[in-house]
Amino acid sequence: MLRDGEQAPGASMTATQKMDIARQLVKLGVDVIEADFPASSEIEFELVKCIAHEIGFPENICYDHHVALAPLLQFHLNNCGDPFTENPVDFHSKDFEVAVLDWFAKLWEIEKDEYWGYVTHGGTEGNLHGIWIGRELLPNGILYASKDSHYSVFKAARLYKIDLEMINTTTNGEMDYSDLRAKLLHNKDKPAIININIGTTFKGAIDDIDVILQTLEDCGYSHNKFYIHCDAALSGLIVPFIKNVISFKKPIGSVTISGHKFLGCPIPCGVQITRKSHIAYLSRNVEYIASMDATISGSRNGLTPILLWYSLSSKNQIGIQQDVKRCLYNARYLKDRLQQANISVMLNELSTIVVLERPLDHEFTRHWQLSCVRDIAHVIVMPSITRETLDDFFIDLVQKRKMWYQDGSVKPPCVADDIGAQNCACALHNGIGPELLSGLSFSNRQPSLKRYSDDTTLYLTLPRTMLNLAISIGPSLNLVDPLA
């Protein structure tokens, strides 16, 4: 494969085009040489080969448009301290950061003068910050988190030395509300800090905020006796376009997402939003940086807010909604194909995470970069994953299973305990359908998408002076003001 410019004078390819070609060449057994890099750069070659089969982790690698921002790499941009206060130095991107925060505040239904937030280094920092707020508001509170919560939630409990009550989950990964009720009643003399999953890490299950709020009320917890943090790392940009799940009109305290997941960003990052009234418990004046600070990390990457802003202003809500629709339908497509092939599989409502039986061969899981737990694995359908890639995975899996299980000495695992008997295709449970297990299937409902008009009030806004400054940084930026 020739390098860029060798195909034809001045020719070049986007990252997406390179991935498409890489997938085809890998299927043919041809070694992939990455365009744009010298022949000695083997690491880059391997990266292109890997991303052609990355379907097991939540990363959207469709961000060709970020190439326009490459000139910014020559600048040290540090958003140290509170994003709503000025920096003592001029090289920062806090105007971009606030514009991104305003966008998410609108999405999650909280007014500009009522929220506070910042762009984090990822979902873990958002969870650490949200639970930190809960601990500061309720110093003797107990942290309640389901067993399927992200490991960073349990890390927070250890870091902050908070008593932890781990809540059982159902087979689809959702919190067991009867177990939550029992443990709330057992600890009724202490406040509750509750982590709610808006899409669990492995199964994509969504905890029901309304049921949890009702459970708190039934157990005698007034609003000043509980704090709710929502971990929406992946699904925080999916569910708002289908169902009104995340809203600060409800008594929740904070929400966090990962910016590099569904939206896509070449640098790990996230967004944390909380109520402004809570920040007084955290914020301290730091004379050295001439700023108030309630963040965890101190120095913060000033490039990621610009990358996030650029993605949001390029796509807008209608573009993101289209990504949501396509990913949900493609996840359903893969689930149906696996089910028709008699392979154990589960797909939660409002989720793009397809959970299936664990492939027998380690090389297969490495090739497709699958995440595995016990006897199950998952495929996470992201905007960068095409239906063709899902077909390639399906065909490869079916062919490999014929080899693994051909002589009958080894059989596919029973995963009824992990995904439910109605979704298990092992010898014991094969043939048991949803009609025999009424009410147990979590994957048969088609979501309906909200409609968003192409209204500029939904777009990101940014002070024109800052926009002009950004454009002047590099002639190849080609930034477009969404309000122009």
Residue 474 resides in a domain? no
Is 246 strand, coil or helix?
A: coil
Residue 1 lies in a domain: yes
The reported pLDDT for the residue numbered 443 is 40
> If pLDDT is split at 50, 70 and 90, which confidence band does 21 have?
low
Q: Residue 330 maps to which CATH number?
A: 3.90.1150.10
Residue 109 gets the label, from left (phi > 0), alpha (psi -120 to 50) or beta, of left
22 and 96 inside one domain = no
Element (H, E) at 292: strand 291-293
Nearest to 291 by CA among 80, 76, 115: 80
Single out the residue in 294, 313, 332 at which a domain terminates.
Answer: 313
| Strand-strand pairing, 353-357 and 376-380 | antiparallel
**Is residue 338 situated within a structural domain?**
yes
Which residue range(s) make up the domain with 235? 72-313
Question: Are both 181 and 222 inside the same structural domain?
Answer: yes
Residue type (1 letter), 195: N
Rounded to 5°, the CA angle 481-483-484 comes to: 70
Confidence bin at 33 (pLDDT 50/70/90):
very low
The Cα–Cα gap between 443 and 445 comes to: 6
pLDDT of residue 34: 44
Task: Give me the mean pLDDT over the 279-288 stretch.
Answer: 80
List beta partners, residue 226. 192
Q: Are 434 and 444 in contact (CB under 8 A)?
A: yes
CATH code of the domain containing 196:
3.40.640.10
Is residue 429 in some structural domain? Answer: no
Clarify whether residues 119 and 194 are in a common domain.
yes
Average pLDDT score, the chain: 84
Same domain, 283 and 355: no
Whether residue 363 is found in the same domain as residue 217: no
List of E strands, 269-385:
270-275, 284-286, 291-293, 345-347, 353-357, 371-373, 376-380
**Token output for 123:** 């979902």
DSSP codes joined into one string, 84-139: TS--SSS---HHHHHHHHHHHHHHTT--GGGEEEEEESSHHHHHHHHHHHHHHHST
* Domain end call among 396, 423, 450: 423
Tell me the pLDDT tens digit for each residue of 380-426: 999 999 999 999 999 999 999 999 999 888 999 999 999 999 999 99
Catalytic pick among 146, 258, 351, 443 = 351
Verify that 300 and 418 share a domain, yes or no. Answer: no
User: Taking a C-beta distance cutoff of 8 angstroms, is the pair 233, 200 a contact?
Assistant: no
Span 198-208, average pLDDT? 98
pLDDT category at 104 given cuts 50, 70, 90 is very high
The label of the residue with tokens 């009424």 reads 438
The two structure tokens encoding residue 164: 């932890």
Total domains present in the chain: 3
Q: What is the pLDDT of residue 25?
A: 53
Asked if residue 190 and residue 336 are part of one domain, the reply reads no
Model confidence pLDDT, tens digit, residues 315-336:
889 999 999 999 999 999 999 9
pLDDT average, residue stretch 342-362: 97
Tokens 């940014």 found at: 462
- Grade residue 481 by pLDDT with cuts at 50, 70 and 90: very low
Q: What is the mean pLDDT of residues 74-103?
A: 91
In a shared domain, residues 233 and 326: no
Judgement on whether residues 305 and 356 belong to the same structural domain of the protein: no
Report yes or no on 417 lying in a domain: yes
* Residue-wise pLDDT tens digits, 424-467: 999 899 855 444 433 333 343 444 455 444 433 333 444 444 44
Above 90 in pLDDT, residue 281? no
Q: How confident is the model at residue 35 (pLDDT cuts 50, 70, 90)?
A: very low
- Tokens linked to 199: 């899409």
Check pLDDT > 50 for residue 38: no
Spatial separation of the C-alpha atoms in residues 226 and 250, rounded to whole Å: 13
pLDDT digits (tens, 9 = 90+) for 143-166: 999 999 999 999 999 999 999 999
Do 268 and 124 share a structural domain?
A: yes
Q: Are residues 347 and 395 in the same domain?
A: yes
Could you give the 3-state DSSP secondary structure of residue 126?
helix
Q: Is 351 a catalytic residue?
A: yes
Last residue within a domain, chosen from 313, 345, 369: 313
458 occurs within a structural domain: no
Domain assignment present for residue 384? The answer is: yes
Whether 432 is covered by a domain: the verdict is no
The share of the chain scoring above pLDDT 90, in percent, equals 66
User: 118 and 78 in one domain?
Assistant: yes
